[in-house]
Amino acid sequence: MRSILLLGLGWLLSQKGKPIFTVFAKSFDLASLVMLAGGLFLIYKSVHEIHQKLEGDDYNLQKSNNKLYKFSQAAFQIILIDLVFSFDSIITAGGTAKYVEIMIAAVVIALVIMFVFSPKIAFFIQKHPTFKMLALSFLVMIGLSLVIEGWNSEKAENLHLKNYIYFGMAFSFLVELLNMQVRKKHANRIVQLNEPQFVENDADKSDLSK
């Protein structure tokens, strides 16, 4: 997906500043629409997940209500969120490199590194509920920055919102690492969050039964 966006980088950059429609003297181009929609979806999804983790019904009790996550639903949401982040990063990368081949190689290397370390990172976050809440909170902040950037990209760039968000993420991460060391000494009880379960479709279930 990111390679395809990079191949169409010239077209994407040319669409920036070309309004698709105007509402109350406010123009919206393709980039702003993607940022606004993606930011709002990210805020909604993150807040919903925080609610489910802390106050929602137990995932093990939702089977009768048919609310369990399916692979297709999870994959669609991951692709949608990745599209938003890809769109943002690709447009930003437009001014950092002159050759598309170099940018594609950098994206591929970054994805390989992500795939190698993502299982360990996911296990670490799964094991420490506070980090999971921090991660979801950061997604809310990032979603808000996307909405602001989609509404007015120039002001968002002048405010350096992403720098503040990344600083807050790094500072919170360091503070939580210190809290982990304190908890190890006192052996406090770890809070258990509600976790989702993935279910197979009917064809997979029939294969398993065989």
Question: What pLDDT is attached to residue 187?
Answer: 60
Q: Mark 46-84 as b/e (b = at least 16 C-beta within 10 Å).
A: beebbebbeeeeebeebeeeeeeeeeeeeeeeeeebeeb
Which pLDDT belongs to residue 69? 60
> What does the alpha-carbon distance between residue 100 and residue 6 come to, in Å, rounded to a whole number?
7
- Residue 70: strand, helix, or coil: strand
CB 16 within 8 A of CB 29: yes
pTM: 0.66
Predicted local confidence at residue 193, as pLDDT: 66
- H or E stretch including 198? strand 198-199
Burial class (CB in 10 A: 0-12, 13-18, 19+), 159: middle
Q: What pLDDT is attached to residue 166?
A: 84
Q: What is the pLDDT of residue 70?
A: 73
User: Which one-letter amino acid corresponds to residue 4?
Assistant: I
Q: What string of DSSP letters covers 22-38?
A: EETTEEE-HHHHHHHHH
Low-confidence ranges of the chain (pLDDT < 50): 64-65
Q: How far is Cα 147 from Cα 157, in angstroms, rounded to an integer?
A: 13
